[in-house]
């Protein structure tokens, strides 16, 4: 028993003093959209707290500036030019997950992940040419109004119904409007256990996104009938949606392979 105790302690000490200098590995972010405790399914009708209901045919949003903080407080930022992604429910796998595989991440024991929802003003200020290939990708995905107006950070299309209205058009297209209205938001999520990036270990971080909170967050619930069925460039409605979007994400678990 004494030998086992010594071996166990030695193993722990080795992991804490492991030299990871120069090592890199991969890390996978799994985005899993749901509604409350239900899986999200296109065409399914979901109820809101005020008696309205909705059904979506499009569910997309942008994330960018993905970075990780390790147990010593050091931060790794994924390279800027490749650090913007479209999370599109239509591309989800059979488990309903959209996987982002990040390559050449510094080896470390990461305790949190941070990312932005949308495009920050610094990236936008680089101009159309400064967006690289992502400008074409976003345009092809319908995630832009025009370059001058800017990106759609979210795109939720479908219909809504209430006690008096049935299957009215629903289009939530929140984004910043050039530099005049900044709806970019960032979220930091603590990991329930460390994501251990190594040359031979690829952690998978399972991020749940509760779409219900876009419309019914812990602080602000919206009524589609009060102008929130068509959200585009209005300073009030887009800002509420941006704030609600920053509340939808949680880390369900981290799996180290």
User: Domain coordinates of the chain in residue numbers?
Assistant: 22-256
Strand partners, 61: 87, 154
Beta-strand relationship, 168-172 and 230-231: parallel
Is residue 194 a contact partner of residue 109, using CB atoms and an 8 Å limit? yes
Residue whose token pair is 């003003």:
121
Residue 17 has pLDDT above 80, yes or no: no
Q: Where are the beta strands (DSSP E) in the chain?
A: 24-35, 38-39, 46-47, 53-70, 75-77, 84-88, 97-106, 108-117, 144-146, 150-151, 154-161, 168-172, 185-197, 203-210, 230-231, 249-256
Q: Of 1-10, 144-153, 192-201, 208-217, which gets the smallest average pLDDT?
A: 1-10
Query: 185: closest CA among 131, 126, 239?
Result: 239
Q: Where are the beta strands (DSSP E) in 2-107?
A: 24-35, 38-39, 46-47, 53-70, 75-77, 84-88, 97-106
Q: What is the pLDDT of residues 141-181, one digit of tens each?
A: 999 998 878 999 999 999 999 999 999 999 999 999 888 99
- What is the rounded CA–CA span in Å between residue 220 and residue 49? 11
Q: Of 45-49, 80-84, 128-132, which gets the smallest average pLDDT?
A: 128-132
DSSP state of 12: H
Q: What is the mean pLDDT of residues 50-74?
A: 97
User: How far is CA 103 from its chain centroid?
Assistant: 18
Residue 3 has pLDDT above 90, yes or no: no
- What is the rounded CA–CA span in Å between residue 232 and residue 167? 19
- What is the rounded CA–CA span in Å between residue 109 and residue 4? 25
Question: What pLDDT band is residue 56 in, cutting at 50, 70 and 90?
Answer: very high
Q: What is the pLDDT of residues 106-136, one digit of tens each?
A: 999 999 999 999 999 999 999 999 999 999 9
142: left (phi over 0), alpha (psi -120 to 50) or beta: left
User: How far is CA 146 from its chain centroid?
Assistant: 23
Whether this prediction's pTM lies above 0.85 is answered by yes
- The sign of the torsion formed by the CA atoms of 63, 243, 183, 228 equals positive
Is residue 248 a contact partner of residue 211, using CB atoms and an 8 Å limit? yes
């Amino acid at each position: 028993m004494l030998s086992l105790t010594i071996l166990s302690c030695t193993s722990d000490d080795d992991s804490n003093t492991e030299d990871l200098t120069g090592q890199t590995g991969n890390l996978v972010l799994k985005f899993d959209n749901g509604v409350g405790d239900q899986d999200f399914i296109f065409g399914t009708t979901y109820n809101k707290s005020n008696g309205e209901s909705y059904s979506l045919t499009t569910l997309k949003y942008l994330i960018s500036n993905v970075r990780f903080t390790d147990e010593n407080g050091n931060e790794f930022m994924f390279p800027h030019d490749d650090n913007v992604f479209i999370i599109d429910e239509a591309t989800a796998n059979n488990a309903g997950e959209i996987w982002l595989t990040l390559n050449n991440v510094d080896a470390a024991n990461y305790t949190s992940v941070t990312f932005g929802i949308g495009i920050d003003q610094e990236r936008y200020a680089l101009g159309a040419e400064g967006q690289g290939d992502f400008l074409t990708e976003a345009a092809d995905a319908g995630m832009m109004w025009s370059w001058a107006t800017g990106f759609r950070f979210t795109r939720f299309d479908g219909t809504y119904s209430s006690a008096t209205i049935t299957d009215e058009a629903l289009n939530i297209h929140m984004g910043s409007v050039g530099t005049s209205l900044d709806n970019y938001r960032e979220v930091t999520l603590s990991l329930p256990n460390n994501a251990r990036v190594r040359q031979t270990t690829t952690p998978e971080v399972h991020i749940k996104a509760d779409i219900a909170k876009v419309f019914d967050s812990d602080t602000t619930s919206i009524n589609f009938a009060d102008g929130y069925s068509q959200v585009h460039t209005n300073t009030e409605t887009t800002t509420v949606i941006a704030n609600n979007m920053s509340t939808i994400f949680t880390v369900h678990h981290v799996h180290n392979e």
